[in-house]
Structure 1
Amino acid sequence: MISEIKNKNERKLKKIENEEWKPIPRTNGKYHISSIGRLKSFIIDKKNGQIVQGSLTSGYRRVSLKINKQTERFFIHQLVAEAFIPKPSAEHTHIIHIDSNKKNNQVSNLAWVTKEELNKRMYQHFVKYRKNYKGVIISNSNLKEEDVKLLKTMINKGIPQYKIAKMFCVSATQIKRITRGENWSHVEPKIVIKK
């Protein structure tokens, strides 16, 4: 009995300064989303609403909502962006967390981006975080440093990448990554060839 009362009290709505609430479309006013990423349900407490916590999926807060007798799952950042941030164009179909903190779902931290902008951002994060791993010896790698030196020399000579991949028993994708400097960027070719 005491735990039931405690759980009900924890779900009561605490007012936060400058927080704005908007109803979520298609829910007939049963759910509202706030400008700081809080969700409240008016299903049980029809007057004041109750906070819905949801769960975490890959670090993102996610909730299940009943819409037209069907349960649908939504990410909180998606609900906030759809309610508070107008899309610049039809091409802007993805939402990013500006500070890269998946739990910071405030309006000021969200932005609509195009698929190209999202891919560019993901690549920049990939490059930024993998710099820590450069020079690390990977014991299960098919290539050794001497192989990569020779391989880079062959690339510089203009030998087709698919042939190099066959010679070293690696994928063409691996050769492309080496060419672009994504993998083995710390290794120099055996012979530097001037073009």
Structure 2
Amino acid sequence: MDPKLEKWKEIEFNVDLPHAKYEVSNYGRIKSYSTRETGKIIKGSNVNGYQAIMVRFDKRITQSYYVHRLVAESFIPKDNDNQVYVTHLDYDKANNHLSNLKWVSERELADHNNKNPKVLKKRITGYKLTESDVRVIKKMLKNEKTRYSQIARQFGITHTQLNRIRKGHNWGHVTIDE
């Protein structure tokens, strides 16, 4: 981090703060001028993985602000009005550097989040049968003395499901050895 390349801008709040001033840098750091002339770098807090700062407007009212939004609002122009979200390009919520942030629309945010390698894809579960179960069922279906309702009850499936297995609509790729 080269201090010569770090640029600071004052944060504009909706409410006037007579007792304090805050600045944000293009490196994603926040400086508070409430106690010192030179300002003090503040760490803020962690809210759902995002760095945030708490700003007190009076004795009872406190507002939190995400640092990545403050950086984007201060340094990155929006391309259009649909861009209301700020995303981290490297998926690291702690990296609030200007080069890692981008304004995006809701659709772009969803597309970006779907590509996130850190999110584990949900495994599809819920199969009542395994391939070995289906092999057993298909062998039982070959025996004409076995009732369909008995097979369905034994494996916890419906009569319709059993017919779909018999016809090859479901589990058609499973074959039995003759």
TM category, shorter:
0.5 to 0.7
Pair 1:38 & 2:22 matched: no
**Alpha-carbon distance between aligned partners in 1 of 2:119 and 2:54, rounded to the nearest angstrom:** 34
**CA pair 126-33 structure 1, distance change in 2 beyond 3 A:** same
Q: What is the alpha-carbon distance in structure 1 between the residues aligned to residue 24 and residue 118 of structure 2?
A: 35
Q: Give the CA deviation at 1:52.
A: 1.2
Detail structure 1 runs of 4+ shifted over 4 Å in the superposition. Answer: none
2:42 aligned with 1:52: yes
Return the match for 1:86 from 73, 77, 96. Answer: 77
Once the two structures are superposed, what CA deviation does each residue of 1:156-193 show, in whole Å capped at 9, x if it has no partner? xxxxxxxxxxx97xxxxxxxxxxxxxxxxxxxx5126x
Aligned counterparts of 1:64 and 1:33: Cα–Cα separation in 2: 14
Q: Let me know the Cα RMSD of the aligned residues.
A: 3.2
Tell me the residue number matched to 1:143.
Answer: 127
- What is the aligned-residue identity percentage? 31
TM-score (norm 1): 0.59
- Preserved CA contact (<8 Å) 2:26 2:75: yes
Amino acid of the residue matched to residue 24 of structure 1? Answer: I
Give the 3 Å change call, closer, same or farther, for CA 57–145 of structure 1 in structure 2: farther
Aligned amino acid, residue 46 of structure 2:
L
Tell me which residue corresponds to 2:6: 19
Match of 2:115 in 1: 124
Say which of 32, 56, 73 aligns to 1:66: 56
- Report the alpha carbon displacement of residue 49 of structure 1 after superposing the two structures with TM: 0.7
Cα shift readout 1:95-114 (whole Å, capped 9, x = no counterpart) = 11111111110101000000
1-structure distance, mates of 2:118, 2:34:
46
Contact 2:91 2:116 in 1 (8 A): no
Rg comparison, structure with higher value: 2
Identify if the C-alpha distance between structure 1 residues 117 and 145 changes in structure 2 by more than 3 Å, giving closer, same or farther. farther
Separation in 1 of the partners of 2:51 and 2:6? Answer: 19
Equivalent AA in structure 2 for residue 39 of structure 1: I
TM-score scaled by structure 2? 0.64
Aligned to 1:113: 104
- The superposition leaves residues 60-102 of structure 1 with CA deviations (integer Å, 9 ceiling, x where unpaired) of 1111013466321011101000000011111000011111111
Question: 48-57 or 22-31: which moved more?
Answer: 22-31
- Provide Cα deviations, 1:29-66, integer angstroms capped at 9, x if missing partner: 70000000110111111x20111111112211111013
Aligned to 1:99: 90
2:9 counterpart SS class = strand
Aligned residue pair count: 134
User: Where does the alignment leave 5 or more consecutive residues of structure 1 unmatched?
Assistant: 1-14, 136-140, 151-166, 169-188
